[in-house]
Structure 1
Amino acid sequence: MVDIIVLGATGFTGRLITRYLHAHRERKAGKFTYAIAGRSKAKLTELARAIRSDDDEDHLEIFEVDVMNFEDVEKVVKQAKVVVNAVGPYWRWGKPVVKACARHGIDYVDITGETPFVQDIIAEYDYLACKNHAVIIPSCGFDSLPSDILVFLSAQLLKEKNGGFASIAESYTAYSLKGGTSGGTMSTAIASMEEIPRRRLIEAGRAYSLSPITGTRSGKRSLVNTLRYFSPKRYGIDFPLAPHNRSIVQRTWGLLQLRASPDSVNDNTAPDASPTPAQVAAYGMEFKYREYLQISSPITAFFLSIGFAFGQILLFAFPPARWLLKKFATPSGQGPSDEVLERGFLRGTNITISEPAPGSGKQTVVRTVLTGRGDPGYTLTAVMISESALSLLLDKSKLPPMGQEGGILTPSTALGNTLVERLRASSRFDIESKVLVDAE
C-alpha cells in the first residue's frame, strides 16, 4: 500500500510529476510515499533508476498496468490513497481509472482539458463517488486550476468586504504566458478532433455544460475586448483553453450555488438572518464569467483572433491539416528541454465585480493575480497536480466540506485555501488579492 500512485509516469508530464514528488520536502521528511505506474515495465524501471540519487535508499515501487483493462486498473488503484492520472487522451483512456477510484473510495486528480470526458464522468460516477466518499477532481493542471482558484479568491475577498450575501455580477480572467508543447498534448488535441463526436464537442462548448444548474450567460463574444481595470490598457481575445476553463469555473459556481440554497437556487438571500457558510461561499445567481489571452495592442489582438479562429476551423474541417500536424509534431512522450521549461511563465489576472449595492448602486471591484515561474503546461502543471494530490492526502481535515464528502468536484470546491497555501509554499507561485474599488 502506498499513499500516491502516479499513473502514466513515463509520459512527458508524468515524468515531471514524478520528479517533483520525489524531490518534495514532505517526502524527504517521511510524510508520504509514492509509486509509479504505466504500460511498460522497462520504461518504469528506467525512470525509477533515473530519479533516484546515489544516497537515496528508498525503494520506489512500480506497477505495470493496462489502463484499458479494468481489472488491471482496479488492482493497482486499490493499493493507493490518491491516484494522480497523467494518461491522456482521457476520452480514450480515463474512464476506467475514474470508475475504479469511485468504486473503492480512492481520491483522484488529473490534468484533463477534455470537457466531454468530464461530462461523462459526472453523469456516470458522481453518485458513486459521493456514496463511497471518493474525491474526484479533474483539471488540476493549467487546465483549469488557475482559472478556478483566481475566481475563488476574488469572490472570497469581495464577500469579506461586502458581507456574506454580496453577489458577483461579472468576473473575467486574462492570461499572459510563455510555454511550449509536448507530443502528448498534440496527440490529445488531435484525438479530440477525430474521436469525439462532433455533437458532443458542440454540447461541451455550451455555457454551464458541467454545472448542475444553469446560470446567466456571459453575452456575445468579440474579436477584441477591452479589459477594464487594467493599467496600462490591455485587450483580450479568446484562446483555445478558455472554453474548458470556463466550464470548470461554472461548475464551481453551480456546486456552490446549489449547496447554498438546495430548495430554491434562485433565492439565496435572507435579509433578516445571518448568512450560512454555504451562502457566504456562493457567487450569486447573476454571476457571469469570461476568459481571455491578454494582448497589449488592439491591432495585434484583432489579427490573432482571426488567426486562432481560422486555425481551429482548418484543423476541424480539413483532415489533411491534421495529417500534417501529426507528421511534423513532436513525438508522444517528448517535449521541451528543462532549460526551455524554466524560461516559461504564467500570469493570470482576475477582475471580479460585485452586484450594485442597494441604495447607492456602487460596486466593489477585486483583483487577484497569480504568477507562476516555469512552463504553465508542464513545470507548473506538475506542481499544481502534485500539490492537489498532497492536499487530499495530508490535509483532508482542513479541506472545504465538499472535499471531505466526495463527488466529481473542482479544484476550489474540493481544496480551497488549503491548495492556495500549498501553491504559495512551493516557491513556484505568487498569489495576491486586492480591492481596487470599494463600494463603501
Structure 2
Amino acid sequence: MKVLVVGSGGREHAIVKKLKESPKVTEVLAAPGNAGIAREARVVPVEVDNLSGLLEIALREKVDLTVVGPELPLTLGIVDYFNEHGLLVFGPGRDAAQIEGSKSFAKELMRENGIPTAFYETFTDYNEAREYVYRKGVPIVIKADGLAAGKGVYVCQELEEAIKALNDIFVKRIFGAAGNKVVIEEYLEGQEVSVLAFTDGETVVQMVPAQDHKRVFNNDQGPNTGGMGAYAPAPVYTPEIAERVQREILLPTLKGLKGKGITYRGVLYAGLILTREGPKVLEFNARFGDPETQVILPLLKTDLVEIMLAVVEKRLSEINIEFLPKACATVVLASGGYPGKYETGKVIHGLDRLPPGVVAYHAGTAFNGDDIVTAGGRVLNITAVGDTLKAAVELAYEGVKAVSFEGMHYRTDIGQKALKLQ
C-alpha cells in the first residue's frame, strides 16, 4: 500500500514511523512534512489547507490510504472531498469534525445528550460577555469558539485575566474569525487526562490514556501552549473510570452525532477532567492529539494500518487492538519565547548523539543546506519507552541532554504528577 500522511508536526512524524512498521505499507508520502519526516517518507511541498493540491498528489501517486493529522483540513472537509473522488481517508468528515471546529457545537451536543461537562454560556458580544464574567466571578474559563491551534483557552484566576482574555479575543481579534463567538465555562478542579479512541461510528476502542502538559513552565505555570510534553499510560485513569467514560461519554457522543445524521469515523479525542463527581469533558478533538500521539503510538502493538482500514471500512469490531505493557514519555523542546514570539532558523545540534532507545520526533524543523534548523515554536519531541514510567521519563531526559539549539526551552517536570502517585 501507498499511504499519504497530511501534516508537518511531531504527531505526523510519529504516525509516519508507526505506519512504516506495517508489512502492508510499501511507501509513505507526507505533505508538507518536515526535516525529520523527510528521512522516513517522501515529502511533497503542499500545505495542509490546499485540498485540491493534496487531491492532485493522491490521484497522481495512486495513494491507497490518506491519513489526516491536523484539525484544519478535517474541518475544511478533506475527507468528504477525497471520498467524492473515490479515495480512502482516515478521519472524520466535515460535519463530524465540528466537534473540534466549534466549541459551541460540542457543548450543545453534550447538553442535548446528557454528557457530563462544565456549565457554560456562549457569547458573540464583548460587553455581554464581560458583564457575565463580572456576575459569575472567578475562577472561570474562557474559550475562543473556533480553531486556535491549542492556544484559545484561558483559565482565569483573576478578574483582570478574564477581561484581558475577552479583550484579546473580541477586540484585538488575535484568533481572527475563530473568536467571533466565545464559550465561557465554570472552572472545574481535578486531574486532566487525554483519552483517544478509535471508532468507526459504532465500535469504540480506547487507546492507552495519556496526560499532556499544557502550560509552558514547570508546575503548570505560564500560558497555555499546544503541549510541552506527555506520558502514557496515565495511572490516575483507572479501568473503572475507563468503563464509565465509555458508557457516559464516548458512546453517547457517537449516538448524539448519529441523531444529527453524522457518522463519526476516525480518532475521537476526549480531553477529560477527573472531578469529585466523576469524569467530565473539557473538550473534544477530531484527530490524534499532539503530543499525546508521540507517547501512545510507540506503545501500540497492533498494526496501525489494519486498524485504520477497519475504521474506514466500518469493521472495527473485527480487530483486536493491543498495547505494550510499558510506559512512554516525551519532552517537547521549544523555541525561546514560545508560545509568544520566537525566532526560527537556529541550528539544531546533537540529533546524531541520542542514547539508544530515544527517538526525536520532529515538530518544527527544516533543512538549511546540510543543517537541520528550528522552524516552529515546538521543535522536537524527545521520546522514550521504558518498562516503567520512571524509566521512560529518565531515558527521555537523557535524550534531552544530547540536543541543543539557541534559546531552547523545555519543562523539567514531565510525568511528575504520575510518579508521585506510584
- Pairwise TM-score range, normalised by the shorter structure: 0.3 to 0.5
Which TM-score applies when normalising by structure 1? Answer: 0.34
Which TM-score applies when normalising by structure 2? Answer: 0.35
Higher RCO structure, 1 or 2 (CA under 8 Å, sep 6+): 1
Higher strand proportion: 2
